[in-house]
Amino acid sequence: MPTTLHNEAAIAGIGQTAYSKNSGVSELQLATEAVRAAIDDAGIHPSEVDGLVTYTMDSSDEVEVARTVGIGDMTYWSQVNYGGGAAVGLITHAAMAVATGQAKNVVVYRALNGRSGQRMGQGVSGNIISSDLIHWSWYMPFGLLTPASWIALQANLYMEKYGATSEHLAHVAITQRMHAQNNPNAAMYGKPMTMDDYMNSRMVCEPLRLFDCCQEDDGGVALLITTPERAKDMKQKPAVMRAVTQASFEGQEQMTSFYRDDLAALPEMELAAKIVYEMSGLGPKDIDASCLYDAFTPEILMQLEAFGFCGKGEAKDFVTADSLTIGGALPNNTHGGLLSEAYMHGVNNIAEGVRLIRGESCNQPENVEHVLVTSGVGVPTGAVIFGQA
């Protein structure tokens, strides 16, 4: 029995739907289309899948997906909480299932009508009665109703403390938009952005402008997880998980961890970094490309520091040196990310991590051995390092 998840699981299939602003179909249709595509990509039959994992926020239940796709007997399923923080959590759960033998082939999925249906940017409202409504109620009466407003509080302090400015955020947004120009699946394909475009976009929650915020889209993504041994007999080159973990730090709240001493840092990401580097035996210098969660541009700056790609407060200089471009020190979100490909709650960033290992990105850098992918910022989160088989 393995005692860590180091090299115990791999992603052997990826699938996705088209991304759009109005899918015109049900979320179950998006989910099952993506799941079927991931299974086909791996080259196995649906009946060989015996586990499913999704988000607590997803509306398509596991058995509905199983029946629709033709998945038969299942021995593992689970759901992961906390919005985009769940992304790497899905593959952590799946990896544990295949590593222990509880399941052989697990598909994880996320599908949402994120623009035509329930829009996350519209924030929380008093009409949603749920167990964490009281948590949100410490913020709602004061006008803090949207993800942008919660992140802005932390970003403002970070920028003030380290002298980061709108120009630094613009570098992140413009670089990812540039990447999307080579990705026909991206919502921002054919829509390049200049510094003027960025600066003229309207202020949403200071310091965040419209183009510091990710989009809202309809679509679905799925990933097939199995053991590296079984993956050898499948169709695609697997992306092996060198290390994978979930991470929630002391004092963690969902989007509102305002009660820790240093608000200008992401301790849950520092925890994730410590674990994945220890588990993999790798360090920041070994990472050749990344897909850092990018619901908002300042999150990229803070994660670069949390994962040790630069020192505290130095991310602003790191991004202006074009480090995040294809030829840079750390090509990041080569598909365009949540900012410019689509907001698939982070699962599309994992799919791009797999493509980078396969050598199939629309913006493939040379010699990619290891890729770091993270999930949601400001929430209980996680990180994974992929390597070659």
Partner 1 sequence: MSDEKKQALEAEIRSYVGKPIGPEVIGRDPVNEPMIRQWCDAMGESHPAYLDVDGAKGTVHGEIVAPPTMLQAWVMEGWDMHEGYDEPKNEQHRLHKLLADNGYTGVLGTNTEENYTRYLKLGETVKALTVIDEISEEKATGAGIGYFITTKTAFENQDGEELGSMSFRVLRFKPANPQPTASAAGGEEAVAQKPSRIKPPMGHDNGWWWERVADDGVIPIQRCTSCEKLRHPPRPMCDGCGHQGFDSIDASGKATLTTYTVVHYPQFPGYEYPIISIIVDLEEGERMASSLIDCEREDVKIGMALEAVIHEDDDGFKIPLFKPAS
Torsion angle of alpha carbons 136, 137, 139, 140, nearest 10°?
Answer: 100
Separation between Cα atoms, residue 219 and residue 342, nearest integer Å: 8
Q: Supply the angle between the helices 297-306 and 147-162 in degrees, to the nearest 10.
A: 60
* Pairing mode, strands 51-55 and 381-387: unpaired
Listed ranges 120-128, 304-312, 334-342, 348-356: which one lies at the site for partner 1 (CB under 8 A): 120-128
Quick one: 97 or 152, whose CB is closer to partner 1?
Answer: 152
Is 172 in contact with 304 (CB distance < 8 Å)? no
Among 116, 157, 274, 365, binds partner 1 (CB under 8 A): 157
Separation between Cα atoms, residue 263 and residue 319, nearest integer Å: 21
Q: How far is the CB of 115 from partner 1 (least distance, A)?
A: 14
**Interaction mask 159-188, partner 1, x per CB under 8 A:** -x----------------------------
Among 258, 317, 364, 365, binds partner 1 (CB under 8 A): 258
**Interaction mask 25-64, partner 1, x per CB under 8 A:** ----------------------------------------
Separation between Cα atoms, residue 368 and residue 389, nearest integer Å: 12
Residue type, 247: A
Quick one: 144 or 180, whose CB is closer to partner 1?
Answer: 144
Q: How far is the CB of 219 from partner 1 (least distance, A)?
A: 22
Quick one: 143 or 190, whose CB is closer to partner 1?
Answer: 143
**Interaction mask 195-224, partner 1, x per CB under 8 A:** -------xxxxxxx----------------
The token pair that represents 331 in the structure block: 């090509």
Q: How far is the CB of 221 from partner 1 (least distance, A)?
A: 26
Quick one: 57 or 157, whose CB is closer to partner 1?
Answer: 157
Reported as type and span, the H/E element at residue 133 is: helix 133-136
Of residues 285 through 304, those in contact with partner 1 by CB under 8 A are none
Quick one: 160 or 167, whose CB is closer to partner 1?
Answer: 160
Catalytic residues: 293, 343
Q: How far is the CB of 316 from partner 1 (least distance, A)?
A: 18
Q: How far is the CB of 263 from partner 1 (least distance, A)?
A: 6
Q: How far is the CB of 128 from partner 1 (least distance, A)?
A: 10
Listed ranges 68-76, 123-131, 219-227, 294-302: which one lies at the site for partner 1 (CB under 8 A): 123-131
Of residues 126 through 155, those in contact with partner 1 by CB under 8 A are 126, 129, 133-135, 137-146, 149, 152-154
Q: Does 121 bind partner 1 (CB under 8 A)?
A: yes
CA distances from 170 to 206, 263, 298 (A): 14, 22, 10
Each residue of 251-289: b (16+ CB within 10 Å) or e? ebbbbbbeeeeeebbbbbbbbbbbbbbebbebeeeebbb
Among 57, 74, 263, 329, binds partner 1 (CB under 8 A): 263
Each residue of 345-379: b (16+ CB within 10 Å) or e? bbbbbbbbbbbbbbeebbbbbeebebbbbbbbbbb
Among 3, 190, 196, 259, binds partner 1 (CB under 8 A): 259
Among 125, 194, 200, 320, binds partner 1 (CB under 8 A): 125
Separation between Cα atoms, residue 370 and residue 117, nearest integer Å: 36
Q: Supply the angle between the helices 267-280 and 297-306 in degrees, to the nearest 10.
A: 50
Q: How far is the CB of 203 from partner 1 (least distance, A)?
A: 5
Separation between Cα atoms, residue 175 and residue 167, nearest integer Å: 12
Separation between Cα atoms, residue 374 and residue 193, nearest integer Å: 25
> Which of 375, 372, 73 shows the shortest CA–CA distance to 239?
372
Binding residues for partner 1, per CB under 8 A? 121-123, 125-126, 129, 133-135, 137-146, 149, 152-154, 156-157, 160, 202-208, 256, 258-259, 263
